[in-house]
Structure 1
């Protein structure tokens, strides 16, 4: 297909499987009277108990959102437009939720027009993070709500908003509940070593669904040459904090793993500026991020790395999203800070 793809997307015979948050397929049609998209869903749609995890997507027509829906069947055809007069249009299909919940695919573009890919933007950014980056619960009305893809929206995350403000193409590599030494745990005595970012960063995602090839997203090697970012924003540590707490020993272990992960990121992205941020859902590990970056920079001589430590979200003023996550107000505020930081360090 003559299209532009962004994010973690795999062509595996049946279609283009959109794996990551904000995975996007964009194209322009000329002389078209109709555009219909044939979509596929993974097996979440077959299990009524998995209703909270249905694939959610948006379609933008000439920049305007014309579809925001969740897939409820294995195969669905969505009409973007269908009329008597031919027209030219820009169309973007965007996956709004993360890979751990589900996968979806574009199988076919049904149009009588000519298709061409959308142009590349002047900047490229990768965002590596957890639920905050995914936009988990951003549309939730209060902290009392729990997770559903109906309120997870990557387009309203600070990552997507930052990329839009900077006119950048973005890849979002993010997994809710994941950390560097421990994923989220509600019992600090029990370290969660199952939900770590490192095993999946070099893969196309995290999901058990088997594609036509028999492979899972987490078994498919990532081709880093396909997207070499100018900037990488690393927002990890929030889930580690649930295990580290105030323990100095655990904090040092986190800093060691953080510095080690920076080496992995740099190996695959030799020319990128790296911005490390943390704090919007807890500032307890902020000093350890700074320590990790200082140690990494001294050891490697890498000076293309920056730190932006954040204050914790102001829920009394701005409210919460689902499960105490940042809502739209907080995500916009965070996007402003990250955007300003990238602009500042780009000028230096």
Structure 2
């Protein structure tokens, strides 16, 4: 085949677009986050991508999109191999091809990685233009697309039930003709995880490429490098956090194995949230908005919440209102996402495809108005 090149050179020539946060100094290119990947416009009758996979427990999955439609989904076994993206097609037409990482960054598996080495085919690469808008999504298992694929009775926590395509983030981006990035982690919150672990929060690592990953391998791949915010500034940042913070009130305490300190979001005797812990949650929301504004000075910040209930919505409204009054920042708002019901539920009691489609329809309508301003 005539074409066989590394992606870093092609990316620099505007011939391959890299999606998702990744180190700009690394070659080959590591894919860390949900919906990260590479995109190309190419002629020729076939095209292959060279991928390298590793994991101890949680294997990577990808989806292949051809002219914006999913045509294949597969697990990538350990090792380095060529994967066929398409073959036997009209060699003269230009095909838009996109590889999408379906699985979130796996904080629980330091060995988990997916690396893109290069492309080979018998055609020519054409430039990939930027879309008119850029969106960044920050969230938990909902934003990771956990349960958006798979049968409703599925209960195993495995990578197969994650999707970066059947996901409200991608569906919203498609509806708005936008490029997008996703930063998400199942079970994590803005202040604490579902099991009261205060270390499992998205804001702490926000300023790194993929700060929630651990281990020497991920460090070598650039996961802990400072993120280059100047290189990619979103028009809108959507924050879908609070579901796990709310769940922590109903779950057991978490004891720090290093210090012995116990952490617990408390309930009052009548079942209401303890005011001190609720105030701490609101302060965490405000602190994250400050961090987001520092790094994204012109973006609209939208706190979107509600796909799995609304227990934290009053606190979110209070926190955002306090932030606006204290800073004068008027480009911040709260948006209520449609709740998942018995008809739209997916695997693992998480929002299914129909729930993600409903959320994307409502959210894209709201963001469309913001982007007009």
Measured in 1, the distance between the counterparts of 2:326 and 2:205 equals: 25
Name whichever of 241-250 and 326-335 sits farther off: 241-250
Contact (CA 8 Å) 2:344, 2:353: kept in 1 or not? no
Contact 2:236/2:302 (8 A) holds in 1: yes
Aligned to 2:366: 341
Q: 1:207 to 1:74 in 2, by over 3 A?
A: farther
**TM-score of the pair, normalised by structure 1:** 0.89
The reply on whether 1:208 has 2:214 as its aligned counterpart is: yes
Indicate conservation of the 8 Å contact 1:203/1:217, yes or no. no
Return the alpha-carbon distance in structure 2 between the equivalents of residues 40 and 277 of structure 1. 35
Match of 2:346 among 313, 321, 331: 321
Q: Cα deviations across residues 283-325 of structure 1 (Å, max 9, x unaligned)?
A: 111011111111111111100111113454222xx15223321
Distance 2:25 2:188 in 1: 27
Structure-2 separation of matches of 1:218 and 1:82 = 34
- Picking from 285, 294, 301, the partner of 1:274 is 301
Matched, 1:289 2:316: yes
- SS in structure 2 at match of 1:252: helix
Structure 1 residue 143: Cα displacement: 5.3
Task: Quote the Cα distance in structure 2 between the aligned partners of 1:217 and 1:255.
Answer: 32
Pair 1:156-2:183 in alignment: no
Q: CA deviation at 1:211?
A: 4.2
Give 1:84 deviation, angstroms.
Answer: 9.1
Which residue is 2:330 aligned to? 303
* Count of matched residue pairs: 332
The answer to whether the 8 A contact 2:338-2:359 is kept is: no
TM-score, normalising length: structure 2: 0.83
Contact 1:209 1:216 in 2 (8 A): no
The 2-side partners of 1:131 and 1:82 are apart by 35
Give the aligned partner of residue 230 of structure 2: 225
Give the CA deviation at 1:272.
0.5
Pairwise CA distance, 1:258: 0.3
Is residue 2:18 matched to residue 1:5?
Answer: yes
Residues of 1 paired with 2:157 and 2:80: CA distance? 25
Q: Extract unaligned runs of 5+ from structure 2.
A: 1-9, 251-272
Q: What is the distance in 1 between the residues matched to 2:90 and 2:154?
A: 49
Match of 2:34 in 1: 21
User: Displacement, 1:86?
Assistant: 3.2
Shift of the 15–347 alpha-carbon distance from structure 1 to 2, 3 Å rule, reads closer
Q: Deviations over 1:305-347 (max 9, x none)?
A: 11113454222xx152233211111111111121121123344
SS of the aligned residue for 2:220 comes to coil
- Selected match of 1:95 from 84, 101, 104: 101
Counterpart in 1 of 2:6? none
- Aligned position for 1:40: 52
Q: What is the deviation of 1:150?
A: 1.1
Q: Deviations over 1:126-174 (max 9, x none)?
A: 1111110110111132255232221110111111111111111111111
Q: What do the CA deviations read for 1:194-231 (whole angstroms, capped 9, x no partner)?
A: 2111222111223235449x525542221111211111
1:127 corresponds to which of 111, 114, 137: 137
- CA RMSD, aligned part only? 2.1
Secondary structure at 1:150 match in 2: helix
Distance change in 2, residues 1:209/1:273 (3 Å) = same
Closer, same or farther: CA 302–115 of 1 in aligned 2, 3 Å? same
Report the counterpart of residue 145 of structure 1 in structure 2: 155
Most deviating of 78-87 and 103-112: 78-87
Whether the 8 Å contact between 1:137 and 1:148 is mirrored in structure 2 is no
Q: Which runs of 5+ in 1 are unaligned?
A: 186-190
For 2:192, the equivalent position in structure 1 comes to 182
CA distance in 1, matches of 2:86, 2:221: 34
